[in-house]
Amino acid sequence: MSGGSARRRRLALVGLGPGDPELVTAQAARVLDEVDFFLVADKTGDHPGTADLVAMREAICERHVTGEWRLVAVPDPERDRDDPADYAGAVRDWHEARAEAWEQALLAHDGDAAVLVWGDPALYDSAIRLADRIEARGVVDVAVEVVPGLSSVQLLAARHRIVLNTIGGPITITTGRRLLRDAEHGDNLVVMLDGGLTCLRLPDPSAWQVWWGANLGSADEQLVAGRLDEVAGEIEARRAAAKQARGWVMDTYLLRRV
């Protein structure tokens, strides 16, 4: 135990990639080896997929970390999901409570730390903002560094053997929450964080081609591609089956106007 900050400690935000241990970079493997402990959010209870995520993380550590590793689980504060009117505000409050929890974990352990992040810390992930907040609070003296990782979107594209852009065209990366709005201006969209296949609510499903993937990088990866109206049923069925089998499902997809 140590409450002091005799020296500046590393706080590395390490992108592990989408889950497959082969998709970890040499840099991520080196940093995991160098630090003294790993910080992970303890979401046990409200995430049924916890056991699978733990197993995937262990497979990554087994392969890339020399010797022992130490995991420090940080209790994840409750998040108010009932107020969609102030979504950004609720997320900010939750970040502040998390920053305090992570700070406590850093104060309770000596040495350098790595925060293990699925995918890429630069894409719909809170670790960078969390680290900014910890640094701004000034309670622990940390040198923050970011180790990029492959995102599930890149694995989706590789598995379907597609280029995310049309020739010279733009790509909109968005969330399920924003899809219906962003589809008005975009004709080539990557959708992440969609808890319920929002694409099925698009006005004209026959106008879109879809490349869908679930649990990418895990053992029970699912892939479906085709015209949205023609493959919607198969996607729904596969998504439901994956969720039934493991208690959770994470999916992402590319939509392109035909």
In order of 86, 163, 189, 190, 253, the CA distances from 175 in angstroms are: 17, 20, 10, 8, 10
* C-alpha span between 65 and 28 (Å, rounded): 10
Question: How many CB atoms neighbour CB 108 within 10 A?
Answer: 12
DSSP character at residue 86: G
Per the structure block, which two tokens stand in for 12? Answer: 């590395």
Q: Supply the minimum distance, in Å, between the C-beta of residue 76 and a second copy.
A: 17
User: How far from chain centre, in Å, is Cα 257?
Assistant: 26
Among 158, 180, 202, 223, binds a second copy (CB under 8 A): 158
DSSP character at residue 245: H
Is residue 194 a contact point for a second copy (CB under 8 A)? no
Q: Supply the minimum distance, in Å, between the C-beta of residue 129 and a second copy.
A: 7
* Strands 37-42 vs 188-192: parallel, antiparallel or unpaired: unpaired
Site string for a second copy, 196-235 (x = CB under 8 A): ----------------------------------------
Is residue 121 a contact point for a second copy (CB under 8 A)? yes
* C-alpha span between 213 and 197 (Å, rounded): 12
Region from 32-40, 66-74, 146-154, 200-208 binding a second copy, contact rule CB under 8 A: 146-154
Is residue 24 a contact point for a second copy (CB under 8 A)? yes
Site string for a second copy, 55-94 (x = CB under 8 A): --------xx----------------------xx--xx--
For 256, list phi and psi in degrees, rounded to 5. Answer: -135, 130
Is residue 99 a contact point for a second copy (CB under 8 A)? no
Q: Supply the minimum distance, in Å, between the C-beta of residue 240 and a second copy.
A: 26
Q: 197 — alpha (psi -120 to 50), left (phi > 0) or beta?
A: left
Among 7, 167, 203, 244, binds a second copy (CB under 8 A): 167
Under 8 Å between Cβ of 190 and 172: yes
Region from 48-56, 106-114, 156-164, 225-233 binding a second copy, contact rule CB under 8 A: 156-164
Residues lying near a second copy in the complex (CB under 8 A): 17, 20-27, 29-30, 63-64, 87-88, 91-92, 120-125, 128-129, 131-132, 144, 146-151, 154-155, 157-159, 161-165, 167-175, 177-178, 182, 185-186
